[in-house]
Amino acid sequence: MTVRAASRVPQEERTRAMRARLMDATVELLVERGFSGTTTTLVSERAGVSRGAQLHHFPTKNDLVVAAVAHLTERRGEELAAAATRLPDGNQRTRAVIQMLGDHFAGPVFTAALELWVAARTDDTLLEAVAPLEQLVGRETHKMTVQLLGADESQPGVRELIQATLDLVRGLGLANTLGDDTPRRRRILDHWAATLDTALHTDGGKK
């Protein structure tokens, strides 16, 4: 048993590492070439994985891309959680939280997700994988934003303002895909943070 376990673990690790390389390569190619330009041949070359091994784990492009969706979902969560640990406290916090979200949705991980999202719109197989994961990401990001802002969703309108904030950063993320929109985004989000602070405070005070 000990010998078999010992030999099995490295094999599992190698498989896991190979799958991770394939997923990373898929995400990179989605950003660089878009969904239609992401071919299984390019992925295996980029990942340094033989075609045989790749086809064994992911027989079709859709299998590869669907697995990459899940991988990407995890990376988006990790990226946000890591950024959240670097946030300041005090009166600059709302601004920092909002800018963090804005930067996240303007980054390559959002771009790859956007490619899958748009492809899924007209591809039912992909939609089955993408839709529930996007809902999960949406819920998790919402929960995290509420916590980071210390918002009280029992107050009327607070939930909708948080939702609006997340739809706003998604819209800004989309605007950023045709060219670097960072200065405009930063300016808009600074003003939005001030408005949000007032709105959250006003709503809280009224009740």
Residues making contact with a second copy (CB under 8 A): 32-37, 111, 114-115, 117-123, 127, 130-131, 134, 157, 160-161, 163-164, 166-175, 177-179, 184, 187-192, 194-195, 198-199, 202
Q: How many whole angstroms separate alpha carbon 113 and alpha carbon 62?
A: 15
CB burial of residue 41 (10 Å; 0-12, 13-18, 19+):
exposed
Residue whose CB is less far from a second copy, 18 or 199: 199
Residue whose CB is less far from a second copy, 27 or 130: 130
Residue whose CB is less far from a second copy, 22 or 101: 101
Q: In whole angstroms, how close is the CB of 207 to a second copy at the nearest point?
A: 15
Residue whose CB is less far from a second copy, 50 or 135: 135
What is each CA distance from 199 to 149, 172, 185, 196, 207, in whole angstroms?
A: 13, 21, 20, 5, 13
Sequence-distant (6+) residues with CB within 8 A of 129 are 66, 69, 70, 120
Q: In whole angstroms, how close is the CB of 32 to a second copy at the nearest point?
A: 7
Q: In whole angstroms, how close is the CB of 96 to a second copy at the nearest point?
A: 18
Residue whose CB is less far from a second copy, 23 or 158: 158
Q: In whole angstroms, how close is the CB of 10 to a second copy at the nearest point?
A: 38
What size, in residues, is the chain?
A: 207
Q: In whole angstroms, how close is the CB of 35 to a second copy at the nearest point?
A: 8
Q: What does 137-179 look like in DSSP terms, one character per residue? A: HHHHHHHHHHHHHT--TTSTTHHHHHHHHHHHHHHHHHHHTTS
